Amino acid sequence: MIARTVRRTLTAIAATALAGTVFAAAPASADSSQRAVPTGEFTAVSQVTGNYMLPDDTKGNPGTYLQVYPSTAPSGWKTTWRFDRVATSNGRPVYQLKSSAGACATNENGENSIVYLRDCSARNKDQWWLLEAVRGTDPQDPDYGIVSYRDEDLALTARGEGDTYIDLKRMWGGHPSQRQGWHFYSA
């Protein structure tokens, strides 16, 4: 019991220190959908599986797809991403999710489809993504659902653990589930 309490406390302290030094702080009046959004390159981790989001070709070139891979990914693999803001919709920022090679995650086939990386175009709304805080996560440093702008009831979802696809799944109840939650760590 004491060990678990100590572990939780240390985890909370580390998370607080990381959040304070890694991400741009939003004004206190901002809603949780705009907190802890990385301003530079980051690594995205599924908080349910503990796996990294990475491109299937390990570099992020156009034509490959998004997948999750265990944290044991070789160091030469590119596991970094960035969000480039391209628009605003109903007061919410809209982003492109870009690989380190500069290709963008694209919603091509809607629900239950694999998400591919394609050449980026700021006008391609299939490459536009909203970030929605996952309910029940820390409101000051939440996990986020990466939600399709085109299909606002679909979010990037890790199919399972290990080496597997990321696809678009329906958000039941209109909000991302824990399985659709991603946490961002500075690269």
Report the distance separating Cα 67 and Cα 157, nearest Å.
10
CA distance from start to end of the chain: 34
Could you tell me where the beta strands, DSSP code E, fall in the chain?
A: 42-46, 52-55, 66-69, 80-89, 92-99, 104-106, 116-118, 129-133, 144-148, 154-158, 164-170, 181-186
| pLDDT recorded at residue 132 | 95
- pLDDT attached to residue 36: 64
Rounded CA-CA distance 128/122 in Å is 8
Q: What is the mean pLDDT of residues 149-170?
A: 91
Instruction: Tell me which residue range forms the domain holding 131.
Output: 2-186
CATH code at 24? 2.80.10.50
Q: How many residues does the chain have?
A: 187
Number of domains in the chain: 1
pLDDT of residue 166: 95
Residues 47-70: pLDDT tens digits?
888 899 999 998 999 999 999 998
Looking at per-residue pLDDT, the higher value among 133 and 20 belongs to 133
